[in-house]
Amino acid sequence: MYLLDNDIFSLYFTRESPQPILEAKILETDDSLIWISVVTAEESIRGAFKLIKDYQTTARVTLGYKLLSKILYALSQYQILTFDELAYSEYQHIPIDVRRHIKTRDSRIAASALSRDFTVITRNLPHFQQVSGLKCQDWTTSNTK
């Protein structure tokens, strides 16, 4: 099972810049194997809400609503992995210095993956590789397994 981090989710689903290697890898992977963390959902929706708030009195408000629509559609395409008690327990086992360095949301994504033995899909391998026992891959490069 694969858990997309927020960066990969944004790259693929908002498609602001072409990512042909990532797109090919996602399309060749059975949809039932790809999951989105509820933490990623929260972060993405929060970003769209920020745009809506920042542009609320201008015509650019449409950008925020377009982004929100893309996010909601994308989230409907895959299963959502919750941040539950198992994930929280794994989170507590990540050393505090690692959690500080990779920040809370990425630590929660890592913990969610650990709790279910998922592989995190990320462009930031050095970041996630700090979490002991976490499997992670970069699907944006051609040397992906």
The tens digit of pLDDT for each residue in 17-72 reads: 778 999 999 999 999 999 999 999 999 999 999 999 999 999 989 999 999 999 99
Contact 35, 81 (CB under 8 A): yes
Contact 3, 121 (CB under 8 A): yes
Of 144, 114, 131, the closest CA to residue 3 belongs to 114
Note the residue count of the chain: 145
CA-CA distance, 121 to 22, in Å (whole number)? 10
Task: Fill in the DSSP letter of residue 118.
Answer: P
Strand-pairing partners, residue 119, are 2, 135
Q: Indicate the pLDDT class of residue 78, thresholds 50, 70 and 90.
A: very high
> What is the amino acid identity at position 10?
S
Read off the pTM.
0.90
pLDDT of residue 144: 54
User: Is the backbone of residue 54 left (phi > 0), alpha (psi -120 to 50) or beta?
Assistant: alpha
42: exposed, middle or buried (Cβ count in 10 Å: 0-12, 13-18, 19+): middle
* Range 111-136 average pLDDT: 97
> What is the amino acid identity at position 74?
A
